[in-house]
Amino acid sequence: MSLKNDRYLRALQCEAVDYTPVWMMRQAGRYLPEYRKLRASAGDFMTMCKTPELACEATMQPIRRFDLDAAIIFSDILTIPDAMGLGLYFETGEGPKFKHPINHPNDIKQLPIPDPQTDLGYVMDAIRLARKELDNKVPLIGFAGSPWTLATYMIEGGSSKTFTKIKKMLYSDPASLHLLLDKLADSVALYLNAQIQAGAQSIMIFDSWGGALSHRSYLDFSLKYMQKIVNALQRGQRQAHYTQDYIPVTLFTKGGGLWFDKIMHTGCDAVGVDWTVDLSTLPKGQVAIQGNLDPTILYGDKATIEQNTAWILQEFGQHNGHVFNLGHGINQDTPIESVEILINAVHQQSKRVHND
């Protein structure tokens, strides 16, 4: 059965659309009152992630409220480290933490590669439920964290601003870090292929902390392993013309604009960029580009949101292959009215761009 709205998939394959598709990173989240109610009833975040019915409901909430062009499965990038036995938990106001972080090279050698069907089957069940609930209204995005980003949490024990522990390993024991990244790349590839089999129609890899690396280290410790995952994905053969059977993949490195050309040549279909990038400077047509509104602009008034939306659309210009998004996840105290204004602005303003 064909999708009722396939603009997002068409844009990822650099095909013509009548208006620019839009979705938002973290679109299922705490800025929505219905999400806060659902999370309160669940008791905690991980219960939501591991209960397919709750994850499906969270996935659907923004789709019911807004005219978005894609859904993204509700989950977390740290499900793989959790399945490896690190004991993921969340403390209010402090973000994710691990009960058993990696403290020694021997910890890495003992890490298992999770079986996505048994250890992470709850994510596949949520994808199947969401596909059924979506009823082909819009495509469903599956996702995972990049090996480097997962490794930062696993070694730091949670969030970090300086990444001291993992960078210490990078420079003092690179062989151990490469072993960890290799295991994570294998795990992510298996996990994403299982998501595709369960019904994900597009894949995104979030490299949230790649921008913390030096140029050489980014290529060797982040991009190398995303490349390995892209090579392993069972997404079908891209055709000369658009097809819904092909599963496109998007790579997003926050702070990674300097490496756009390198990322583009991994074989991915789209590159996500943050708000520091001028879209007019990027090559068009070889890969799609996703981005790149600063999420804090959504604190502005209607005129501010519409003007900044217009600037981004003008920067990209009259080309195929643009997916409008924020440059990172939506903030939890973002006014709902601002989201509505943004989506309407993207759709209305881009119609003029695509039809001139």
Is 153 in the active site?
yes
Is 39 in the active site?
yes
Is 85 annotated in a binding site? The answer is no
97 conformational bin, left if phi > 0, alpha if psi -120 to 50, beta if neither: beta
Is 153 annotated in a binding site? The answer is yes
Cis preceding-peptide flag for 292 (omega within 30 of 0): yes
Starting at the edge strand found earlier in the chain, the sheet holding 249-253 runs 71-72, 140-145, 202-207, 249-253, 270-272, 288-290, 322-323
Is 280 annotated in a binding site? The answer is no
Catalytic member of 26, 69, 191, 269? 26
Is 30 annotated in a binding site? The answer is yes
Catalytic member of 6, 8, 35, 39? 39
Is 27 annotated in a binding site? The answer is yes
Is 328 annotated in a binding site? The answer is yes
| Angle separating helix axes 224-232 and 147-156, nearest 10 degrees | 120
Is 128 in the active site?
no
Is 216 annotated in a binding site? The answer is no
User: What is the rounded CA–CA span in Å between residue 203 and residue 206?
Assistant: 10
Is 128 annotated in a binding site? The answer is no
Locate all alpha helices (DSSP H) within the chain, ordered by sequence: 7-12, 33-42, 45-50, 52-65, 79-81, 105-109, 121-134, 147-156, 164-172, 174-198, 215-218, 224-232, 260-264, 302-316, 336-355
Catalytic member of 69, 76, 119, 269? 76
Is 30 in the active site?
yes
Catalytic member of 19, 31, 35, 153? 153
- Show which residues are catalytic: 26, 30, 39, 76, 153
Binding residues: 26-30, 76, 153, 208, 328
Binding residues for substrate: 26-30, 76, 153, 208, 328
